[in-house]
Amino acid sequence: MHKALDSSFRWNDAAAQYEASGIAPSAKGKMLYRGLTSLLLVTVLAGCTAVSSSSVDAVKLVVQQHRDHSPTAAEVAARPYYQMQASTREGHAVLILGNVDGAREDWYGSHGVVVFLKHGQVVQTAGLSQNLDGLHQSPDNPFARGLQHLNGPLDYVRHEDWSPGYRYDVVVQARLVPAGTEQLTILGQTHTVLRVDEHLSAPAAHYRATNRYWVDPVDGFIWKSVQQVAPGMAITLVQLRPYRGKAS
């Protein structure tokens, strides 16, 4: 069974980072990674009512896996954690869900890599060579309403903070555009999804980019996305064992 989303599920940040990652860490991320394996095992033992020795061995084994290949359906099913694959130009990682606070989800890998989501949108990252330090949405957040409700192009404005370089409060103009229905296959299962393109522009930063989201037409759950976390740094997220939360 999946971990229950109660207080026992809210692990220490460092302890939740057990997945081996091919994503190159920043210097800060390398410091965070020291001793994480032993911390993880202590936390797993303390946070669960019962953990077998085979479970601990499985966690140890995970630290050595998925550096250069995508996980199989059997590998994902063998681990009782919500899992998401993350890919950048620097490599790949399988992240686990370490904390849920309202709409905010904290997904952890190793080497200090963390991806924070709200309604499927990346709102913060850590441990990458370039990071999104913060994303400040408009009060009428289209992701909170659900992208499945888009009937046509929608323009809105948000503010983003990027590092390194202390590029904070960058005004980003965004346009969400429905792009039709597609078939998306994940771990051998095919989903009928809506694709939504998001065109981004920040003239003051000479920045243009396009995000893409593959959205469940029923509840707006984002199965896959390609999102820019900072200029020149895109991250692809694929839900392997998803946490669906509450339907939109």
- 48-73: pLDDT as tens digits: 333 334 333 333 334 334 455 678 99
Kindly report the average pLDDT of the chain as a whole number.
79
Enter the tokens of residue 58.
Answer: 């499985």
CA distances from residue 187 to 31, 44, 58, 73, 219 in whole angstroms, order as listed: 33, 27, 21, 5, 21
pLDDT for 210 beyond 50: yes
For the chain, the domains span 7-241
Q: In 10 A of CB 28, how many CB atoms?
A: 13
Omega before 164 within 30 of 0, i.e. cis: yes
Q: Is the dihedral of CA 8, 10, 12, 14 positive or negative?
A: positive
The mean per-residue pLDDT over the stretch 23-41 comes to: 40
Lowest-confidence region among 6-10, 105-109, 165-169: 6-10
Enter the tokens of residue 143.
Answer: 């992701």
Would you say how long the chain is, in residues? 248
pLDDT band at 138 (very low <50, low <70, confident <90, very high): confident
The mean per-residue pLDDT over the stretch 167-183 comes to: 98
User: Nearest Cα to 92, choosing from 27, 20, 33?
Assistant: 20
The mean per-residue pLDDT over the stretch 144-160 comes to: 97
Q: What is the pLDDT of residue 90?
A: 86
pLDDT for 77 beyond 60: yes
CA distances from residue 247 to 38, 42, 60, 143, 146 in whole angstroms, order as listed: 37, 34, 34, 13, 9
pLDDT for 108 beyond 90: yes
pLDDT for 155 beyond 90: yes
Composition of the chain by helix, strand, coil, percent to 5? 20, 45, 35
The mean per-residue pLDDT over the stretch 197-226 comes to: 98
Apex 51 CA angle, 50 and 54, nearest 5: 145
User: Nearest Cα to 66, choosing from 132, 111, 4, 122?
Assistant: 111
Q: Per CATH, which fold does 7-241 belong to?
A: YmcC-like fold (2.40.360)
Q: What percent of the chain has pLDDT above 90?
A: 64
Distance between CA atoms of 32 and 34, rounded to whole angstroms? 6
Q: What is the pLDDT of residue 91?
A: 87
pLDDT band at 20 (very low <50, low <70, confident <90, very high): very low
